[in-house]
Structure 1
């Protein structure tokens, strides 16, 4: 077996060959989910393609790709929903694919998402393999694939694209490729607001690496200087995507540097430390019919926090802990769109590493049985979900 730190494993062909079982398993799980969605939608008289590319946020992305920014909807209660809330990298890619292929904007979004989801699976494997070994890497990818809301990985949303950029940026940090990490972090910042988590992870790792290097009396000044320059470059480049877009929105709206927060407020989105979410969960317990839903929400939050604590006990690198902690905090402490919280947690893939480790310790037949059962349940839930309320 190839060592993850060997030259063969770090070359693209070696890395891809090492990740092949994870990618094949991921593709199989996603194919099962799409087949279930297609069958369910057809039986319901609907269209799986429309559910994946022409509803909810995917419509907003394709409008940006086709028409640019400036579209807004004014609701009867006075709220203003503007497409400035949606970061530009996904619609830019949709526009490029539409321009160079015969695909429509919605179909271009599906192609971008399909490629991005495979890149995300590969990146998750690369990080988990680096930290915990190949078998855990494969199990981590499969665990990500069979999440109950895993179907979002195939929707023309930005979660898969963001996860791919975040995972490979973190991998670049772990392998001391600082300029690459900074560039990928900048692109992640152009994809979703939670791109700040990638920037913070890179900064934390860079500062810690700098301090540790200068405490090591065995390192040479020349090496220290070269590494310091690379880290500094990464720290400068990493926030440019998110900061650039936020400042552009502020200039366009006339709201100044914090104008993007006004845009989010129009969507009833904000950060209140989780107060509104706690109240939302608590209200579920005020009536018997909604009490099970409240219990499920509370259990879900406890599970997420327990998994993060397990990540700490597992000794994950600081970059992963900072990244995951911020993604979780932003997802759970946002003040709106409570139904979106499970999909907002999709990029927090290091949360799955403790579960993947446990899965990797099982016999192959046992882990296959667990993953197979979870894949069937995920496919059925995804088909039911998208043909029902769907992800807001």
Structure 2
């Protein structure tokens, strides 16, 4: 087994790393000042971030997540051409800084929506929506989760998508609709039921809904442990008799689950790649704090409990990174379906390990750790959502266990 990083992998990782150090890091403080000005509207486009995007695009560091599609000629809808494994190393670098992913046009939910359109969209759908998304001109949202049902089982979803002549009419209530708060959010992919009498996994469909369509009401922006994530945000949305053309349906009626599976494999691992970067930042901040403080006559880093925590953090990061890279490599070589076990395992392990390290980092900072001063509380709040997003831990653990049970079902 060869763990050597290839020349191409290091080429892309190092370019991303250099861009972040040269451009993103110096701009981060300015971005915070721009978006946190008292009395200003925070739900607006950041000019700092737009400037970073222009630089990254000019350098060809753009749409790095969009892997080649061997099934058809991509023509103008071609990303940077990185494999999942190559992108994994870039995404870890992006995960260290909150605004880095969007600077490269590699932030959710746009990444997942672009992958859906790239893989399943018609030429007309791509021309109208994929093109401006790939150019970074607009942003998007994905409306799946609902407050009235346990959405960890997507067959529970109650939103109705009903055919009416040349249109579909949509009625339902969604929440955790990430990206809706952004003034650039122009299009949403909505998942709902087109046929409640069909077999369980053929009832759902996905449809493109422009955000300016009559009948869409943004009820509120949902905070995450007090953070509202402006200007991106996570919204509760009501759809009342929302009417869109029939050609906005993606792939066909009853194929919503098929689309979701194609979307969620890469989306889940993208989160995990970035999460490793967050864990590295947590460990770095923890170590620097421990070495700078003295308690009971010696540096806090010399207290045995902290030596143990630091050692465990480094060990956990290295193990988690290897599992993530293995999953990405399998996705490239044998496909998402064959890599389902590895994807499920890293989706559970990544956020849990990062949360443990961030919690220790917060502890090392004492009272300062739970304030906004060091950024650790915000990172913890963000990573905590990943134990729910794209399927909760329990669903992934169930899948892991079932694969394990099947493996040994014929054992004597």
TM-score (norm 1): 0.29
Higher relative contact order (CA 8 A, sep 6+): 1
Q: Which has the higher helix share?
A: 1
